[in-house]
Structure 1
Amino acid sequence: MVFATKIDLAAELEISRATVQNFFAGKAIGRENFHKICHTLKLPWHEIADLNDDPELAPEDFERAINDDCDSAFYSHDINLDRFLLPPVQPNLIQELRQQIRVNIQQQCGSLRVLDMSQPRQLDHLYTEVKVLEKISSRRRLSVSDLLRECVKIDDRPYLKNTALERSPGLSAVEQHSKLIILGKPGAGKTTFLKHLAMQCITGTFLSDRVPIFISLKDVAEDAYPVSLLTHITQQFAATTQLVSEALTQGKALILLDGLDEVKEHDRPLVLQAIRQFSAQFHANHFVITCRIAAQDYVFEQFTEVEIADFDDSQIANFAQKWFTNDATLPIEFLHTLFANPPIHELATSPILLTLLCLIFEDSRTFPVHRSTLYQEALQLLMKTWDASRHLDRASAGKMLSLHHKEELLSRIALLRFEQGDYFFRQQELEQSIWDYRRTVAQTAIASDDLDLDSEAILKSFEADQGLLVEQARGIYSFSHYTFQEYFAARAIAHPALGSALEMPLQKLVNQIIDPRWHPVFLITIDLLPDPDCLLQLMKQKIDHLAQDANLSPFLTWLTQKTAAMSTPNNAAAMRAFYLELELGHLLDPVQGSCLLSHSLDADGSIAAVLKTNGDLALDVRLARLLTLAIAPHFEREPGSFTLSRSQSLVQALTTAFESAQSLDPDLAADLHILQSQWSDLAQMSDEEIRFQADWKTARSTWVAQLRLVLDRHRNLGHVWSFNLHEKRLLKQYYCANQLLLECLGKSGSATQRLMQKSLLSLPIVELNTPVTVARSMTLPDGSVPLVPSIKSDTK
């Protein structure tokens, strides 16, 4: 008698499915049932149990096992049913079948075309190795504090990615587990990985003793009723039905079942049952199933589950190298631009969003100046386009809300959590936010009990359908990318429906101007506002108040004087922020030093344009760089650790400044020439001399003090400002707020730029006739007379 499934066998023998399952798994079952199964299947029970070869089974126990009438547990040892149930393998079956189905597999799996690709691309030319997590991230029992410790911090921003977990190659997981479920977020590359497995297998590169069978479970469900994998495979390989049947029977197939989450909800129970029956009937074959991680609410007992990991930087670089094949410089440009922009870099950990970034960069060799444009395109892809492009219509709880309502709800959640400083949110808090929104805003007339149930279902749909909210641990969620939380928070502030009430949320935003965490929200809000003038004016007023609160009139007076001497009305704001950074960059950020000409200070390109024609400004830049290098910590020489090459950058800066000064200011050039000679003498001191002299640091400090005096005398730069810790903190806030304002100006319209730059030309708290009192040493550290005579700052 032939039985199609284990379920049929259990029904025929009137025993439980679990007993039959345990029999095939080599687990202990009752003696009577063991004999009954063996007899029905015409199997030699003593060979299957390997009782004669068991060294721990005494002869009397063997006899008792045969004659015992009680239904005690029967010891089944190392059962290998394949040698009894499977027919012998035909020698050329695999090779012959591969040859006949190669074209079919190539058509199904050999190419890839997604998003705006103009034509398909060969999969093996684009595929990047997939890494998997053995432990499903959402099933970890971690606290919020645990998750915060896991975050990578880049520019004080949390970098939410699961690369902190142990990762292993996806191919190794498939090789290790004959029954595997691969879970992943939307766009994580599940289908691409399955296609790669099929192509590797058909060429004999991977699992060379098997033949691949790739099946879309969505197609299976839509084919016919009743749902049958065997029927679908038979129809798919109609020309080779006999060979495929033999491969399945002999356990020589790699069954690749793609997109369980794509099966419509009403078809899913039938598909699940079909998979269970098929994997039981042809249990000796190799099975791999893919499914979105949050769409899985069932268990396949014999299957191991893994999760596709986010891309790390090496995978991103590998993908970019394969994508940009027509221009050798493009991959380098792309990666440089990407890694220099942490919010966009964060998106690239998702394969589908990385593909979008490559398509955008391929067209323009840059990313959009207005980041909101990029975020809107990415969100459109996740919330609508990605499923629509594959003709998927998910009948999930997410359909209770329109696309507009989903965006509005996510905006409210993002802003509320951002205001509270939360990167991670508890499930019950999110469900409450959904409940409140549907009750008050969407005005849903549903009973409270139903609203509770719907809130959980909607939350799950945000994770399963769009992947925008992700369960990072049991009951704890976050936005899939932190930059999406920033975008949705900005969207809530700049909501067009606010109309005349817009000033209130803008004022609340401006109150956060000294918090760097909010700066990306400012920049996105500027993008989203149809008229940013109101926000820019509020920012200007807040910065003026910061200056008043700081009580730093002497420094601000110097800044106004220096700016007035070097700027025009059209670039005054950029110039003041520029000199603020030149003078205090190294003081306020001793690790990075002065960035010098960072794009945030040159938002409209005016500084760069002036530098090309204004030698004075260019000279100030070179002198500021020279001072920054001179006071850098790596010039703190210790005996035995210093060589001339370590000061090469400073020597080069000295030379460049000297060459610039020769035509502009011969007196300055003469002083720089003296400094060049002195530095050369210091740098070439031998280690032996240093051991006996033991005053390298003093000599270096003397040289730096002389450099400052030269800069002060000739260019009104390089002052030693004596700020206490409180003043430094206030100055840094003022400094960062100015940087932010300039960057916001660069994103606004040109008319607004000119208006704001003129209004920023002077500070109301600064009296231009107030002399600047600069705190400086009038004698050098060794007590000697300064290289140049000091002059009073009020002559500047």
Structure 2
Amino acid sequence: MTSQGLRASPEGIKAAKTALTDKTLSQYKLAAALGITRQPVSKFFAGESVSRSCFVQICQQLGLSWQKVAGLPEDTVSEATNKVQPKSVDLDTLVRKIRQQRQDKIPDQCGTLQMLDIAQAISVLDIYTNVNVLEELTCQQWLEISDLMQDLNHESNFKQLAEASHQRKLPGLEAVSRYSKLMVLGKPGSGKTTFLQYLAIACNKGDFQPQHIAIFVRLKEFAEDAKENNQFNLLKYISQEFLSCGVEEESTATILTEGKALILLDGLDEVPSDNAERVTREIRRFTQVYYKNQFVISSRIAAQQYRFQGFTEVEVTDFNYEQVEAFVKKWFVAVAHKSREDGEARGNLFIHQLNLPENQQIRELAITPILLHLICLVFHVKAEFPSNLTKLYEQILNILLVRWDETKGVKRQTFPCHLTVNSKKKLLSQIAAITFEQGNYFFTQEKIQQLITNYIGTLLNLSIDSIQFQEVSEVALQLIEVQEGLLVERARGIYSFSHLALHEYFVAKNIVESQDQGCKSLVTHITEAHWHNIFLLTVSMLPNANEILGLMKRKIDLLVAKDNKIQDFLIWLRHKSISVSTSYKAAAVRAFYLVCVRRTPAEYLFAHVVRTASLTTEDEDSFYRQHHAFVHTPSYELEYALVGNIAFNSDLALDEFLTSTLTCAGELDFAVDLTLNDALVLDHAHALSIAFDEALNLVLEPEFKKDMQKLKKQLPPIESYPKQFRCWWQANGKVWGEKLRSLLIKHRNIGHDWQFNQQQIELLQQYYEANKLLVDCLNRSANVTPLARQEIEEALLLAIADIQN
């Protein structure tokens, strides 16, 4: 024991470690449970001197006698008790008393949220979703653009970039427990204020740091009151609030001096710029004087320039999948006023639709809490997402550019050159268009400042003075990042749009505003997959989409115009489609047969790979399985986009089963040649048999049925003699397959061996995807005339000669 504190004896440390293990605690969890930093806990277990109050708290939490842990003799125990207990007891009593006096104040301050476009206040506890934080700010990472690009997945969306981050994520509550002074930073609408309100409520209820008293200060309101009274003094501000709860100033000072408060300072970025320096100075002074308390300050990440001594900075992360799901289910119960069962059911429907491939853009936006709230509002009306996303994007921009600050009464710094909201949108559209055209999702600070300089110079018709405009562009970039959060610093000096979906929206907006020239330039990208969303957005935004859809159709036809074999294939496609009896549009039937044939090119591509690749025995099975999955997953997206789900039609069903039978025969060839695995060979033999039988059941023509039955009888039994079947197929399979092909060509005009080379296979794939895009654009646009729609649909998937005729 010392005059400054207490020290655990070796026996006491041993007993404490045993108790720690028995209670399945770690030193970190023990500190979190007590609401103290880890440092005194570490000192306790190291046998170093610890303050008496901490020492007693640790022992009590472990269920041990603090006197015995300290190794004090009996005659010293009562003396120590007499010295320690009165002050500790008095302070604990005071804390309990003040907590009781402020029991109703915290729910009044922090208990509800006023959410956008929701008339009623919503309980924080009903909607709060646990947040995670990063212990290293993304904007402070020393990364290159190439490093960021590696973390983008094939869909190239920033949600995947966030999930791929190599930084360690920490639960928000754990961060508050770990660090006694915490600066919580985040993008606009990321949930910073809600997190601080939840901390206050949880502390007030005794669920988090129950030995502390929660103090919640909205810094914007503090600044306004301080300016009015000319008193930028947090102690007086807090004391006055405590007085309203019946707490004397002396008690308030005692609590702060003894470090018994959890002080939550919300919205440093919302402080008016003319008061920002004085507020920052007062926070610095206050946190240094009352350093024993727990502090949490929140601010937008781009706004935080001053770093407070002793504070750890963390960044609120975007929502992950589990957080989105939790928020959505809570939203439909709390905000939509549904029963828990109905709310969770609607939430499950939301999540199901959100995960559909066509909702990728919405899925990326949903990682930001404020935008997820808006998406829930939209979904709530019709229990579905809008197919035309333009209005959703416009609402999002309206929130980020104007309404989010307006609803909170926040007035921010004026934009350079007094740019209007529309001017800012045009600026962002130009930045988006130039960077996207260059294939850049990320861009350097120098690049973006140059684009801002060029725009402002052109807008104001000014000659560009490099020094003056550099200063203007720096301020403009910072304000776009701080005020709207539409541009985000992903690493030191490297920026991107906050969401790829918004980057794409601004590109499309720029094309629409460029009118004819923009549309002509756009169609040159029709075979580039990452431009497809731009097409969909542009078509939905144009007041009249006839021209761009016509440009797209002509560009698609030109893709295959010079390839005679593909032109012959398209002529066959038309002849075949008109030979079947169906009520569907001719284009839909052509799409159906194009899909059927697309399986065959896959076989030839695979055969080419097999002939040229050096496969080891270990690779054969996995390589074959990959090919098998590819061949057996044909996409009927184009056909579906034209007419929806095609109901049963005997002609189409027969041809599909026949095509599958021929494909299975080809796959069986590959299986026999590529692997010694008899089970795998039998699987494909069974698939062939099933497809053959299904087709045979649909054959009505007597001669064709007789020929098919005769061919089926040539196959040896599969189950009884698997090895004999393999041997038979090795000797006769290819001939049998050619007989099947001949029957299909003779009786159904399908199964032709087009022998496309790899380049033609890739060209057909591009042709298919481009047509699918065109049909999607037709379906998305409400601004195309019926005549233009009909002309395009009737000419889909036709050879040039047929179009001209």
- With the shorter chain as reference, the TM-score category is 0.7 to 0.9
**Structure 1 residues 507 and 204 mapped into 2: Cα distance closer, same or farther (>3 Å)?**
same
Q: Which residue of the partner structure matches residue 755 of structure 1? A: 791
Q: Which residue of the partner structure matches residue 385 of structure 1? A: 403
Q: Residue 469 of structure 1: CA displacement?
A: 0.8
Q: Which residue of the partner structure matches residue 95 of structure 1? A: 96
Cα distance in 2 between the residues matched to 1:631 and 1:258: 67
The one-letter amino acid of 1:217's match is L
Cα distance in 2 between the residues matched to 1:562 and 1:296: 67
Segment of structure 1 superposing worse, 184-193 or 233-242 = 233-242
Q: Which residue of the partner structure matches residue 480 of structure 1? A: 498
Q: Which residue of the partner structure matches residue 277 of structure 1? A: 285
The superposition leaves residues 288-334 of structure 1 with CA deviations (integer Å, 9 ceiling, x where unpaired) of 01110100111101100011111112222222232334244323322
Cα distance in 2 between the residues matched to 1:216 and 1:678: 84
Would you say 1:579 and 2:597 are equivalent positions?
no
Cα distance in 1 between the residues matched to 2:405 and 2:765: 47
Q: Which residue of the partner structure matches residue 365 of structure 2? A: 347
The one-letter amino acid of 2:568's match is P
Cα distance in 2 between the residues matched to 1:308 and 1:676: 65
Alignment counterpart, residue 524 of structure 1, candidates 515, 522, 537: 537
Cα distance in 1 between the residues matched to 2:631 and 2:144: 37
Q: Residue 632 of structure 1: CA displacement?
A: 7.0
Cα distance in 2 between the residues matched to 1:120 and 1:600: 46
Q: Residue 635 of structure 1: CA displacement?
A: 7.4
**Structure 1 residues 444 and 189 mapped into 2: Cα distance closer, same or farther (>3 Å)?**
farther
Q: Which residue of the partner structure matches residue 524 of structure 2? A: 511
Q: Calculate the aligned-residue CA RMSD, in Å.
A: 3.8
Q: Which residue of the partner structure matches residue 554 of structure 2? A: 541
Q: Residue 650 of structure 1: CA displacement?
A: 8.0
> CA contact under 8 A between 2:671 and 2:681: conserved in structure 1?
no
> CA contact under 8 A between 1:543 and 1:734: conserved in structure 2?
yes
The one-letter amino acid of 1:229's match is L
Q: Residue 413 of structure 1: CA displacement?
A: 0.9
> CA contact under 8 A between 1:152 and 1:160: conserved in structure 2?
yes
User: What are the ranges of 5 or more consecutive residues in structure 1 without an aligned counterpart?
Assistant: 1-45, 54-76, 770-796
**Structure 1 residues 466 and 715 mapped into 2: Cα distance closer, same or farther (>3 Å)?**
farther
The superposition leaves residues 521-579 of structure 1 with CA deviations (integer Å, 9 ceiling, x where unpaired) of 11111011111111111111111211113332221222222233359999334443343
Cα distance in 2 between the residues matched to 1:297 and 1:129: 27
Cα distance in 2 between the residues matched to 1:127 and 1:700: 64
> CA contact under 8 A between 1:560 and 1:768: conserved in structure 2?
no
Would you say 1:612 and 2:647 are equivalent positions?
yes
Q: After the TM superposition, which residues 150-549 of structure 1 pair with which residues of structure 2 at under 5 Å, given as runs? A: 150-154=151-155, 159-161=160-162, 163-165=164-166, 166-224=168-226, 225-237=230-242, 238-242=244-248, 243-325=251-333, 326-340=342-356, 341-397=359-415, 400-443=418-461, 448-495=466-513, 498=514, 502-549=515-562
Q: Residue 157 of structure 1: CA displacement?
A: 8.9
Q: Residue 373 of structure 1: CA displacement?
A: 2.1
Q: Residue 603 of structure 1: CA displacement?
A: 3.2
Cα distance in 2 between the residues matched to 1:655 and 1:305: 68
> CA contact under 8 A between 2:157 and 2:364: conserved in structure 1?
no
**Structure 1 residues 587 and 438 mapped into 2: Cα distance closer, same or farther (>3 Å)?**
same
Classify the secondary structure of the residue corresponding to 1:214: strand
Q: Which residue of the partner structure matches residue 764 of structure 1? A: 800
Would you say 1:131 and 2:132 are equivalent positions?
yes
Matched residues, number: 687
The one-letter amino acid of 2:459's match is V
The one-letter amino acid of 1:135's match is E
**Structure 1 residues 640 and 616 mapped into 2: Cα distance closer, same or farther (>3 Å)?**
closer
**Structure 1 residues 247 and 156 mapped into 2: Cα distance closer, same or farther (>3 Å)?**
closer
**Greater helix share, structure number:** 2
**Structure 1 residues 655 and 529 mapped into 2: Cα distance closer, same or farther (>3 Å)?**
farther
**Structure 1 residues 761 and 171 mapped into 2: Cα distance closer, same or farther (>3 Å)?**
closer
Identity within the alignment, %: 37
Cα distance in 2 between the residues matched to 1:698 and 1:192: 72
Q: Which residue of the partner structure matches residue 69 of structure 1? A: none
Q: Which residue of the partner structure matches residue 577 of structure 2? A: 563
Segment of structure 1 superposing worse, 367-376 or 158-167 = 158-167
Segment of structure 1 superposing worse, 719-728 or 672-681 = 672-681
> CA contact under 8 A between 1:182 and 1:306: conserved in structure 2?
yes
User: What are the ranges of 5 or more consecutive residues in structure 2 without an aligned counterpart?
Assistant: 10-47, 55-82, 334-341, 606-626
The one-letter amino acid of 2:265's match is L
Q: Which residue of the partner structure matches residue 14 of structure 1? A: none
Q: Residue 439 of structure 1: CA displacement?
A: 0.4
**Structure 1 residues 114 and 599 mapped into 2: Cα distance closer, same or farther (>3 Å)?**
farther
Q: After the TM superposition, which residues 717-736 of structure 1 pair with which residues of structure 2 at under 5 Å, given as runs? A: 717-736=750-769
Q: Which residue of the partner structure matches residue 110 of structure 2? A: 109
**Structure 1 residues 545 and 474 mapped into 2: Cα distance closer, same or farther (>3 Å)?**
same
Classify the secondary structure of the residue corresponding to 2:793: helix
> CA contact under 8 A between 1:569 and 1:761: conserved in structure 2?
no
Q: Residue 252 of structure 1: CA displacement?
A: 1.0
Classify the secondary structure of the residue corresponding to 2:526: coil
**Structure 1 residues 105 and 761 mapped into 2: Cα distance closer, same or farther (>3 Å)?**
same
Cα distance in 1 between the residues matched to 2:371 and 2:739: 53
**Structure 1 residues 464 and 674 mapped into 2: Cα distance closer, same or farther (>3 Å)?**
farther
Q: Residue 405 of structure 1: CA displacement?
A: 0.8
